[in-house]
Chains A and B, each alone.
Chain A
Amino acid sequence: MSLMRITSPHAHSGQSTAKVMLQVAAATVPGVLALVVFFGPGVLVNIALCVATALACEAAVMKLRDRPVGFYLKDYSALVTALLLGIALPPYCPWWIPVIGSVSAILLAKQLYGGMGYNPFNPAMVGYVVLLISFPVEMTRWVAPAELIQGTPALGETFALIFGNMNVDGFTRATPLEIVRHNQSTILAQLYEMEPMFNKGSIAGLGWEMANFGFLLGGLFLLFRRLITWHAPVAMLVTLTALSVVFYDGGSSLSEGSPLLHLFSGATMLGAFFIVTDPVSGCTSNKGRLIFGAGVGLLVFVIRAWGAYPDAVAFAVLLMNFAAPFIDNYTLPRTYGHKAARKATDLEEQ
């Protein structure tokens, strides 16, 4: 009888990439639900289009690279990328927006670098930025929460908006971040009373606050399941809060917005728990993750406050992706039995 010969360890925790990815996908559910409740089913169509395109791209590339297609699709990494991109896109955007975004994310940002695990940049964010730069008009039109426009587009209208040539302008309003940003003359307290976006919501804009709250819940679930570590999200949120406190300016007309607005509007929570924690393009050590998260928080605030774009998570994450290997190099943990940690590039000591 011949027996199996393999090296230790023989036991395994049972954790698998596919399970991790599926749990990440599941963690987005509360946030997505909030988006659907407040902004209508557009986001679901986005997600569906993104997922279909991304999986098709992934499969095609695997076929071209002569790899087993099913095996690679089953790691569900493309699914999560597509899901995050679909959530980030404005609902009811034309169908080719999610398609182009997914193609960029999977082909450009992921597979051209060698597939899962090899991409230096977050694929979903690359896809998002490609779209934001190429199609700024389509990408900056957000529909208003249902309450503000007497109901989101009906099913027929939804398909006309996405696949036909119906104009979405009738449904859109400025986002909370945009409102605060373009405000020149009113003090914030007044603005909050005047604007229906704020006076119908509670802290950071109707709909937006709930979506962020949903993603925060999902993030806590991921933390609880030990699928992510607290370092990067906490560092990002703390930095963002600290900066917004410093520049709050007591809520004057020139204020950059309250800390609560920054925390619970835009893509803050989605970014903090689902984007910044992407292990592949982030930092490896916990110390590095703290620096990485703090960097993202800083850039998010800088771009929101003084940049040309209303939200900034995608740019901030991509810029920090550049810095990740550099941060890694300076944040090696101290190995057991060694006096001090070193830089990875220090070969002299050996």
Chain B
Amino acid sequence: MSQVNERQSASERRAAREAHLIASEKARDLSRELKINDFHGGVHPPENKHQSTGEPIGSIPLAEDLIVPLNQHIGGTAIPLVKLGDMVLKGQKIAEADGLVSCPVHAPSSGKVVAIEPMAVPHPSGMVADCIQIRTDGRDEWCALTPLADYANRDIDDVLEKIRDCGIAGMGGAGFPTAVKLNPRGGAEIDTLIINGTECEPYITADDMLMREHASEIIGGVEILAHLLDQPERVLIGIEDNKPEAIEAMKKAAEGTRFHVVTFPTKYPSGGEKQLIEILTGREVPNEGLPANVGIVCQNVGTARAVFRAVTLGEPLISRITTVVGESLQRQRNIDVPLGTPIRHVLEQHGLDRKTLQRIIIGGPMMGYTIEDLSAPVVKTTNCILAPSKQELPAPPPAQACIRCGLCAEACPASLLPQQLYWYARAEDREKLQAYNLFDCIECGACSYVCPSSIPLVQYYRAAKGDIREARQEKEKADRARERFEYRKLRLEKAEQEKEAKRLARKKAAEEARKKREQEANSPEAQAAKQESDVVAAALARVKAKQATPEQQLARAQRTLTSAEHRVERMQKKLADAEEAQKPPLEAQLKTAELKLQEARDRLAEAEKQAAAADKTPEQKTVESSAEPSITEDKLTVAGASSSAAGAAIERAKAAAAARASMNPEEKLAQEIDALKKRVEKAEARLTKARNEDDPNTGAFETALEKMQGKLQEKLAQQSQSGSQD
């Protein structure tokens, strides 16, 4: 009932706006004849759309486990809001967006959170990513939804926030967070809103079926989008002419609105954002720019529907329409599937024949990627699961040499020269690749499709792009490292100079002081210094004790030895197998390995000795560790792998302590007093400030000041005492 009301009020609003627009000058633009443009290149692969349009959109039983990746789009990974064991309801937000370009994630069904850990996700790398696994309880119980009633009278930011909060990301392909796209930065004026119902990829019919069955919801979404963009002059819904039913449904739904349903000839990749913009407006998105730069925002029909449901029903994006197609399946159709449903579950529900299966493609045959792990889930951007048989999409034949036939250049929708890019990608000539505008490649695959030599051109471009990006990052990092290194050098030099100056001054002062008193052995100071060195040594000892008992050290030494032995063996074998030319570096490596082996043997011997000693005198050991530092040190020298380093560290610490000890005690005392005085002053200042501001901590400040003053008095007394001793 509420939905009906919503629709009614929406239509009322629409009528009001329409009246307004017709009255305005903008209406004249609408009646302007639309000219369909062509774009350069393109191919006509077999459409293969009929297989999955025979049935209406279906659904499948809920999977037992839903795996919801925290990152299903371009941008930052969401931060989980739930804990293991939490019960969640359908539609409940389970992870919050992190940063502006990010999306929250919602539970696709009710159940219990059973895992939050890296799991297989649909990604060409086959890598794992953080996911929340929900064990469904079968009740499919919704949480309370909060629709944004009467969005037209709400602040635009509120509506955008709602869209963002519902986790809506572009459902056409890349999955860019929709709220960000609807909020163009830099004050670009948007005069055209394009709704992309092109769906040019073979096999995929998700948008087609969506338009056939839910045209009114899409139009409702378009209304919201147009509202959010301040009613652009033109709202164009672009559909390829191979979807007559969808066109009819959309035209019918768009009746009485100012939205134009525009059809144009089928050609791949007319559904690419840049290509569609060229087709419908004749404008080109500038190099390195966005559609907003030419006053255009482009949204997918699926996104429009999701926006409609989010705003009018408060429903977050937790399910989508996905085409399940391919000759390896008994049943081919479109389904409305909860996000997070494992792809294996989807395929099993459609009668997957594993014998004929050879690869699973997520997306279409032109731009989709293969996955190996079928436990990966359906995500916001999964528009198609393609399970072709071996005959349907045979494995590519081996690549032959490029014969420069130029078919690729004719097919390229970006007017690039794919073969030149191919040569330079092979040669890894990054400068030339950029000169030939590699980064304008949209990876549509048209060039590889037509290549008579079956060269995997797109893979070359993807690799080259990644390579150049990586090189850029590395260069940036190297520059930063250089800067930091140079700054550090400067700082060290300065510190050295200061130290030198101080040392000279101190030396002078010390000499003068020494003249005053010929003989002095200030025992309390020396003691203090020694204590300090004890502290470091004790800390080391504690860590050592925690890190490794003699037994552990022995085991560790043995492990090191075995691995070193293995390494030497391996190296020897490799050396024996190696070709003549490779020998010198291998020999050098072998030598280092042998050295390491020797070292490991020595360490083992030491460790054994130590272990034996430890066995004999367990009590003594405990005594030793807490006893004088010299003993600790001895123990450490023979300890384990790192003992020599530790010994050196202790030596250095001792030296420092000794140096401090040899410092004129009187001078040191004076220094301390100075420091204390400063601190007292600071504390006083703070206290006054605290008093002025009526700080609740005033009491604490007072006590601290008192303490400090007491200490200062004590030191002063000490000084006068030692002065009198002179």
Contact = CB atoms under 8 A, between A and B. Distances in A.
A5 B374 CA distance: 13
Contact of A335 (B363, B414, B456): B414
B414 A336 contact: yes
B184 interface: no
A116 interface: yes
B419 A13 contact: no
A150 interface: no
Nearest to B443: A8
Interface in B529-551: none
A347 B430 CA distance: 11
27 contacts: A3-B360, A5-B126, A8-B367, A9-B448, A10-B361, A10-B365, A10-B366, A10-B386, A12-B448, A12-B449, A12-B451, A16-B453, A17-B400, A17-B403, A20-B403, A77-B403, A229-B410, A279-B404, A285-B417, A332-B417, A335-B415, A336-B39, A338-B437, A342-B435, A344-B435, A346-B435, A350-B435
A71 B398 contact: yes
B40 interface: yes
B366 A9 contact: yes
Interface in B592-651: none
Contact of A8 (B409, B410, B435, B445): B445
Given A3-B357, A279-B406, A333-B409, A10 B388 contact: yes
B415 A284 contact: no
Q: How large is the interface on A (under 10, 10 to 19, 20 to 34, 35 or more residues)?
A: 35 or more
Interface string A17-44: 1011000000000000000000000000
B202 A284 contact: no
A176 B458 CA distance: 51
A3 B370 contact: yes
Q: Which of A6, A13, A284 has the most CB of B within 10 A?
A: A13
Nearest to B431: A347
A185 interface: no
A11 B451 CA distance: 11
B395 interface: yes
Contacts of A334: 415
Interface in A59-92: 71, 75, 77
A4 B414 contact: no
B372 A11 contact: no
A13 B448 CA distance: 9
A165 interface: no
Given A332-B417, A344-B420, 4 more contacts: A8-B368, A75-B400, A285-B406, A333-B40
B462 interface: yes
B395 A12 contact: no
B419 A284 contact: yes
Nearest to B398: A71
A13 B357 contact: no
B285 interface: yes
B209 interface: no
Contacts of A118: 401
B284 interface: yes
A265 B547 CA distance: 94
A117 B402 CA distance: 5
B61 interface: no
A280 B454 contact: no
B59 interface: no
Given A7-B369, A17-B453, A280-B404, A335 B359 contact: no
A7 B440 contact: no
Of all A-B residue pairs in the complex, the 5 with the closest CB atoms, nearest first, are A9-B445, A117-B401, A11-B365, A4-B359, A337-B287
B358 A3 contact: yes
Which secondary structure dominates where chain B touches chain A? loop
A53 to B, nearest CB: 22
A279 B404 CA distance: 5
Interface string A168-202: 00000000000000000000000000000000000
B440 A338 contact: yes
B142 interface: no
A19 B358 CA distance: 26
Interface in B705-725: none
Nearest to A337: B287
B203 to A, nearest CB: 9
Q: Which of B124, B449, B454 has the most CB of A within 10 A?
A: B449
Q: How large is the interface on B (under 10, 10 to 19, 20 to 34, 35 or more residues)?
A: 35 or more
A250 interface: no
Contact of B434 (A75, A279, A350): A350
A115 B415 contact: no
B370 A117 contact: no
B323 to A, nearest CB: 15
Contact of A11 (B124, B393, B415, B453): B393
B75 interface: no
A279 to B, nearest CB: 4
Contacts of A75: 400-401
Contacts of A4: 358-359, 370, 395
Contact of A337 (B45, B274, B445, B446): B274
Interface in A249-306: 279-280, 282, 284-285
B403 A16 contact: no
Contacts of A77: 403
Nearest to A4: B359
Q: Which of B285, B388, B404, B414 has the most CB of A within 10 A?
A: B404
A308 interface: no
Nearest to A346: B435
A346 B401 CA distance: 28
A334 B419 CA distance: 16
Contact of B366 (A8, A117, A333): A8
Contact of A280 (B357, B361, B369, B403): B403
A163 B369 CA distance: 60
Contacts of A346: 435
B407 interface: yes
Contact of B449 (A6, A11, A115, A284): A11
A276 to B, nearest CB: 14
Nearest to A342: B435
Contacts of A12: 396, 448-449, 451, 454
A9 B449 contact: yes
Q: Which of B45, B124, B286, B435 has the most CB of A within 10 A?
A: B435
A17 B289 contact: no
B264 interface: no
B354 A1 contact: yes
B436 interface: yes
B145 interface: no
